[in-house]
Amino acid sequence: MQSYDERLTAPRSWWIISVLAGVSLALILFPFGTLPMLGGLVGGAALAAMAVSGYGSARIRVVAGSLVAGDARIPVEALGEPEVLSEEEARAWRSHKADPRAFMLLRSYIPTALRVEIVDPADPTPYVYLSTRQPRKLAAALTSVRDAG
């Protein structure tokens, strides 16, 4: 049973920037003729769009008794209490309060986050920091799965 699923998609402005990257490459190739210019427009926009899509494809899920965040899969039994972070707190935890040993799935375009302590003594990771648009909903899903198990 899946109780939470979020894709950290890139904002619309990034897609506009990928089109502008194609236009920039087209302008660079303009002196070489129409065909190279069109190739630059299509190729540059496509490459930039692939980069934006790849960066925005990170997902956070709570499924089968685990928190799946990007490439990490953490059983909920190894997690402590989730802490919902406001914009200011999230900024502090991804900058001057950050621990280099922490697992951080952060996206600069998402201002809020969730921080969860790792309580497994065998794991040297002190906490998980997750950028999320719905930190309260993610915290509730983690608590619900942990309490049910």
Which one is predicted more confidently, 4 or 3?
Answer: 4
Q: How far apart are CA 113 and CA 89, in angstroms?
A: 9
What pLDDT shows up at residue 149? 65
- Same domain (yes/no): 51, 79: no
Give residues with Cβ within 8 angstroms of 30, minimum separation 6: 37
Q: Is residue 3 part of a domain?
A: no
Same domain, 116 and 129: yes
Residue 99 has pLDDT above 60, yes or no: yes
In a domain, 115, yes or no: yes
Task: Look at the chain and report how many structural domains it folds into.
Answer: 2
49 and 68 both lie in a single domain: no
Beta bridge partners, 103, equal 128
Sequence length of the chain is 149
Based on the fold, state whether residues 69 and 88 are members of the same structural domain: yes
Asked if 29 and 84 sit in the same domain, the reply is no
- Model pLDDT, residue 83: 95
4, part of any domain? no
Q: Are residues 139 and 100 in the same domain?
A: yes
- Cα–Cα distance for residue pair 139/132, rounded to 1 Å: 10
Share of the chain above pLDDT 90, in %: 85
Please report the pLDDT score of residue 147 as a whole number: 83
1, pLDDT greater than 80:
no
Residues 75 and 138 in one domain: yes
Q: What is the pLDDT of residue 2?
A: 53
pTM reported for the whole predicted model: 0.83
Whole-number Å distance between alpha carbons of 138 and 140: 5
110-147 pLDDT, tens digit per residue, is 999 999 999 999 999 999 999 999 999 999 999 998 88
Within this chain, do residues 82 and 135 fall inside the same structural domain, yes or no? yes
Q: What mean pLDDT do residues 57-83 have?
A: 93
Domain that holds residue 21: 9-55
* Domain presence at residue 1: no
How far is Cα 82 from Cα 136, in angstroms, rounded to an integer? Answer: 9
**Mean pLDDT of all residues in 56-77:** 92
Mean pLDDT of 59-71: 93
Q: Are residues 66 and 39 in the same domain?
A: no
In the chain, % of residues over pLDDT 70? 98
Residues 90 and 122 in one domain: yes
